[in-house]
Amino acid sequence: MKRASAAIRVGCLGLTCALLWSVGGAAVAAAQTRAPPQAPAAAAQFAEKKVLTLDIARKIVAAAESEATRNHLAGVVAVVDDGGWPILIERMDHAAYLASVELAPGKARTTALFKKPSQALEDAINHGRFAAVTAQGFTEMQGGLPIVVDGEVIGAIGASFDTPEHDVQIAQAGLAAVPH
């Protein structure tokens, strides 16, 4: 007899589970057919942001290279996104310094992450803020300029040629190609 009651209990348990399963499934189906609740007006929304594309980076580098060629200069130009990650790096034939392959992307990265020209960091060091040289992985030299669209820094250009003045001149020429 005990065996029968155990079977009945299992049967009831199975029946109960089956009923709960089907009721739960109906509730899920009903929830899926209801319209989702409307979000309150004050709810957070995703921001839209402009990003640099490879096509735009190519135009920036081409404009910089054109300015360099016009002035009989050769060096390296780099374009990075707002996180400092390289999009395009170009080393012109007969670049003035082999180190420019690291300097140009470094200037661009520094500029993108600090959201200001790399010269600002060089100036801070030259005016007594010596602790700035301890910032590892940054290039505190002229030649990095932010790429700003609609008031937001969306990336940066870095240029490394023969002098700091030429670096800035070439970077500025590249910025002229940024669509607004």
For residue 174, pLDDT beyond 70: yes
What angle do the packed helices 118-126 and 100-114 form, to 10 degrees?
Answer: 90
The pLDDT, as a whole number, for residue 152 is: 95
Q: Which pairs count as long-range contacts for 128-137, CB under 8 Å and 24+ apart, including other chains?
A: 137/109
The CA distance from 72 to 34, in Å, is 69
Confidence of residue 54 (pLDDT cuts 50, 70, 90): very high
Contact 178, 156 (CB under 8 A): no
Residue range 36-62: average pLDDT? 85
pLDDT single digits (tens) 77-95: 999 999 999 999 999 999 9
Per-residue H/E/C for the chain:
CHHHHHHHHHHHHHHHHHHHHHHHHHHHHHHHHCCCCCCCCCCCCCCCCCCCCHHHHHHHHHHHHHHHHHCCCCCEEEEEECCCCEEEEEECCCCCCCCHHHHHHHHHHHHHHHCCCHHHHHHHHHCCCHHHHHCCCCCCCCCEEEEEECCEEEEEEEEECCCHHHHHHHHHHHHCCCCC
Average pLDDT, the chain: 85
Kindly tell me if the per-residue pLDDT of 55 is higher than 70. Answer: yes
Q: In sequence order, what are the residues at sequence separation of 6 or more whose Cβ sits closer than 8 angstroms to the Cβ of residue 90?
A: 61, 65, 76, 77, 78
**127 compared with 33, residue with greater pLDDT:** 127
pLDDT of amino acid 90: 98
Residues 6+ apart with CB under 8 A from 83: 112, 113
Q: Give 47's pLDDT tier (boundaries 50, 70, 90).
A: confident
Q: Tokens 């209801």 belong to which residue?
A: 34
pLDDT of residue 44: 84
pLDDT at 43: 73
| pLDDT tens-digit readout, 95-106 | 999 999 999 999
**pLDDT of res. 15:** 42
The count of other CB atoms within 10 Å of the CB of residue 116 is 16
pLDDT digits (tens, 9 = 90+) for 8-32: 444 444 444 443 444 445 444 444 5
> What is the model's pLDDT at position 13?
46
Residue 49's Cβ-count burial label (10 Å; 0-12, 13-18, 19+) is exposed
- The predicted-structure confidence for 127-172, as pLDDT tens digits, reads as follows 999 898 888 899 999 999 999 999 999 999 999 999 999 999 999 9
- pTM for this entry: 0.74
